[in-house]
Structure 1
Amino acid sequence: MTGLRTALVAATAAVLLSVTGAVTTASADDDAVAKEPGCAQLSAWGPGWADIRNICDHTISATVEVDGWDPDCIQIGPRGVGRIGLEPGDDPYYAYEC
């Protein structure tokens, strides 16, 4: 009887550990999806300008993150690229929808 009880406890522990692992994995996957960028991607930049690529199939409004005040949003058509003006010395970090 003790061998059967030991086997039962081991099987229960294995099930609990696998369920906990699945829940942890699902939470990690959900967090990754939540942190995925939207449709706007910074594609190129230079002194006084930045290009934002719309990777989605619908029109978006987007801008870029810089130190200080971010530039006004621009509209970018589906799968298009829009150029935004920057102040002297501004270096864009990333693009985002607004």
Structure 2
Amino acid sequence: MSEEVETFWRRCREQRSLPPNPNRFTVQTVKALLRQLLDEDVLMAIGRKCGWDMLLKADSHHYAVGLLARELCRVSLPFGHRIAVSLLPRLSRGDPLSCTA
């Protein structure tokens, strides 16, 4: 992370009591947004499979994104389909999935 970004993140963390890791903040944000759209059971299913924790690790991130997409497809085909269609090209090329994308 560049020094500028790190300074910005540190200030945001201090002002808003955010988690120290920007990736953890991103995962918490995704969970909060999905909680508004989906049943709590879906989020719990992802948690039981350690999907939220795997999103934070570089070696398991790819698998966790797939798990998330599969769970979303399982509960809401139209919603999951849009997500899967947007992720598929990136996953098949092996591009890294940045939290800022």
Q: Which has the higher helix share?
A: 2
Which has the larger Rg?
A: 1
TM-score, normalised with respect to structure 2: 0.26
The structure with higher relative contact order (CA 8 Å, sep 6+) is 1
